[in-house]
Amino acid sequence: RNLKKAIIGFAYVTIGLFLFVLGLEEGIFPIGEVMAKQLTAPEFVDSILERTPEWQDYYWVYIFAAVIGFSTTIAEPSLIIVSIKAKEISGGAIGFWGLRLAVAVGVAISIALGAFRIITGTPLHYYIIAGYLVVMIQTLFAPKWLVPLAYDSGGVTTSTVTVPLVTALGLGLASNVPGRSALIDGFGLIALASLFPMITVMGYAQLSHILDKNRLKNSKSERT
């Protein structure tokens, strides 16, 4: 009986993955390319420009990238599960919405910054090295019980919902921005999307810790 269920389950997974990949190829990636093409079109960037657009002329791209990063992360099933479990295990010390919003803000910043990197053509490793230096410094000062969760937060964001849309956006931008290569510049958004949630989650915890200390200090001073 268990073998039969396992075979049926494996068949469902195989069919589901096949349909998922088919949906990516037929729907998500073309949509990403169309969105990037429209956002980077000269008539959309600035219809009165009589010159090659500069990086600041693509501000709508940065806003759109941040919105895509935030919305896809909030809807990410793996992040929802981790947030529920984190709240249960911590006894409410880690808020369900607090963790989700902290991660989503991190992804939004990372995708907007990644779009900026593609448009300007700056090397990816500058952002990666600087980001991990910040993570290492934060690790020294963040609450020790939160550090593993912050590290895991980078992984749960790059899952079913986020990866296809972000990848499509990156490849679409690199294919349509003049002077950019889809192979060299189109990838790397996922790396940034995995990095920045660690920064924002630890920053959220550090800020909450400071606010709690100030609140406790104020309550003690009021009693005295």
Its domain, for residue 58, covers 2-223
Residue 197 phi/psi, 5° resolution?
-60, -30
For the record, the structure tokens of 157 come out as 């964001």
Q: Which residues contact 176 (CB under 8 A, 6 or more apart)?
A: 33, 36, 37, 40, 41
| Number of domains present in the structure of the chain | 1
Q: Which residues contact 5 (CB under 8 A, 6 or more apart)?
A: none
Instruction: Determine the pLDDT at residue 5.
Output: 84
At 199, the pLDDT band (50, 70, 90 cuts) reads very high
Other CB atoms within a 10 A radius of the CB of residue 207 amount to 11
Report whether pLDDT(175) > 90: no
More confident residue, 198 or 171: 198
Q: What is the pTM of this model?
A: 0.79
Taking the C-alpha atoms of residue 152 and residue 136, their distance in angstroms, rounded to an integer, is 15
Give pLDDT tens digits for 93-146: 778 888 899 999 999 999 999 999 998 888 999 999 999 999 999 999 888 888
More confident residue, 206 or 132: 132
Q: Identify the CA nearest to 150 among candidates 112, 98, 108, 114.
A: 98
Give pLDDT tens digits for 64-84: 889 888 988 887 878 888 888
Residue 97, classified by CB atoms within 10 Å of its CB into exposed (0-12), middle (13-18) or buried (19+), is exposed
Give pLDDT tens digits for 15-60: 887 887 777 677 666 766 677 677 766 666 555 556 666 777 778 8
- What's the average model confidence in pLDDT over 81-93? 82
Taking the C-alpha atoms of residue 159 and residue 193, their distance in angstroms, rounded to an integer, is 11
